[in-house]
């Protein structure tokens, strides 16, 4: 898997994404960003499994988890995570 690296204002986001038939089946996200509550990153990851590996789908999916889990991530937005994931998919 290729590492996708994207730097947001809040920190560096590293992601590794695997797909099968255009569907995300394996994903890891790490980096030096901040995200509250911390446990919610695993929720973002869980929700992305099974999603279509397309920019719009990914962004909507992450935005939904942000809303559901009441996530705050100063300096980092759902589009920053999306950008890192898209770079891994390139």
* Residues of this chain that bind other proteins (CB under 8 A): 3, 9-12, 14, 28-38, 41, 72, 74-75
Q: Least distance in Å: CB of 85 to other proteins? A: 15
| CB-nearer residue toward other proteins: 54 or 72 | 72
Pairing, β 3-8 against β 11-20:
antiparallel
Bridge partners (DSSP) listed for residue 30: 14
Q: Least distance in Å: CB of 21 to other proteins? A: 27
**CA distances to 27, 57, 68, 70 from 15, in Å:** 7, 17, 22, 22
Q: Least distance in Å: CB of 40 to other proteins? A: 11
């Amino acid at each position: 898997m290729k590492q996708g690296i994207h730097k947001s204002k809040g920190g560096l986001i590293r992601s590794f994404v695997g797909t099968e038939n255009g569907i995300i089946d394996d994903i890891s996200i790490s980096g030096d960003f901040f995200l509250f509550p911390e446990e919610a990153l695993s929720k973002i990851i869980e929700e992305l499994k099974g999603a279509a590996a397309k920019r719009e789908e990914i962004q909507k999916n992450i935005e939904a988890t942000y809303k559901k889990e009441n996530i705050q991530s100063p300096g980092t937005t759902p589009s920053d995570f999306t950008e890192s994931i898209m770079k891994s998919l390139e």
